[in-house]
Amino acid sequence: MEKSKVEITLRNQTYTIITDDAPEKVLALAKGLNTMLDSLMDSGKLSLTQALVLCSLDLADKAKTYKAQAEKYKNEIADYLEDAERAMTERDRYKRELDKLKAQNNN
């Protein structure tokens, strides 16, 4: 994908982002970040830099949590697939036994 320049504004400061992502995605991310910044800075006790550091830490924590959850789900799915494979193997074995018994009864 072609790189594009996207201008975002965070708390009345404009930043130019060069990205491979769609501009709409970057603007949506900036909007969400602005919402976070607004909630932190409404008290007037934090500078923009301090608020951005807190937002970064919060977002990094969420990313780490989501990554751990995704890994957990991935492992659970792998376990379910193994169980399903075992069940199908067992089903096939029972089917062969049933076919064998049916053949014996027909004789």
Its pTM stands at 0.69
Q: How far apart are CA 99 and CA 105, in angstroms?
A: 10
pLDDT in tens, 94-107: 999 999 999 998 87
pLDDT in tens, 35-92: 999 999 988 889 999 999 999 999 999 999 999 999 999 999 999 999 999 999 999 9
Q: Nearest-CA neighbor of 63 among 38, 91, 29?
A: 29
